[in-house]
């Protein structure tokens, strides 16, 4: 059965959008506080961009920019690709593999961000699914109650 991004892969996320007036340091502090690798930038729940650890490395540190004075809008990925909460985990994995993404915002029908799905989320989900399948197969193989009475 195909599982959906929300609620099967991610659920109960508290999304905090960073305002466009924020600096890179504001973004980094928020990411550190929430223990996440990406933040969405925007207003009223609608994404204007996404700022990731990779953006920090490649667009700020490698260029020698000052995180305290650099606006996050200068170094974020504008108009990020998004997923619908109803899309399947396989859709997210395929898109990430094809495009080299590690994070994708999940946007509801109203255009507001409801979650961010990461490769880590998808890895944990796939691992859990595989473990459950192995347990089911093991129970099937070792169960002696299938049509045999002693």
**pTM for this model (two decimals):** 0.82
The residues that bridge with 52 in the sheet, in sequence order, are 38
In whole angstroms, give the CA distance from residue 131 to residue 137: 10
Q: Which two tokens stand for residue 44?
A: 């009223």
Domains of the chain, start order:
5-142 (3.10.580.10)
Decide which of 138 and 145 is more confident. 138
pLDDT at residue number 132: 77
The pLDDT value recorded for residue 139 is 76
d(CA 34, CA 51): 14
pLDDT exceeds 70 at position 54: yes
């Amino acid at each position: 059965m195909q599982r959906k991004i929300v609620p099967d892969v991610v659920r109960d996320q508290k999304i905090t959008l960073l305002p466009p007036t924020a600096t890179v340091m504001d973004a980094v502090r928020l990411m550190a506080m929430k223990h996440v690798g990406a933040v969405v930038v925007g207003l009223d729940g609608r994404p204007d961009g996404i700022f990731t650890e990779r953006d920090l490395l490649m667009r700020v540190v490698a260029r020698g920019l000052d995180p305290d004075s650099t606006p996050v809008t200068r170094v974020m990925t504008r108009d990020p690709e998004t997923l619908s909460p109803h899309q399947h985990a396989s859709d997210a994995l395929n898109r990430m593999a094809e495009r080299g993404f590690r994070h994708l915002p999940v946007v509801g029908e109203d255009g507001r961000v409801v979650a961010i799905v990461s490769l880590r989320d998808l890895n944990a989900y796939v691992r859990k699914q595989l473990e459950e399948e192995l347990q089911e197969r093991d129970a099937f193989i070792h169960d002696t109650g299938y049509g045999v009475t002693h």
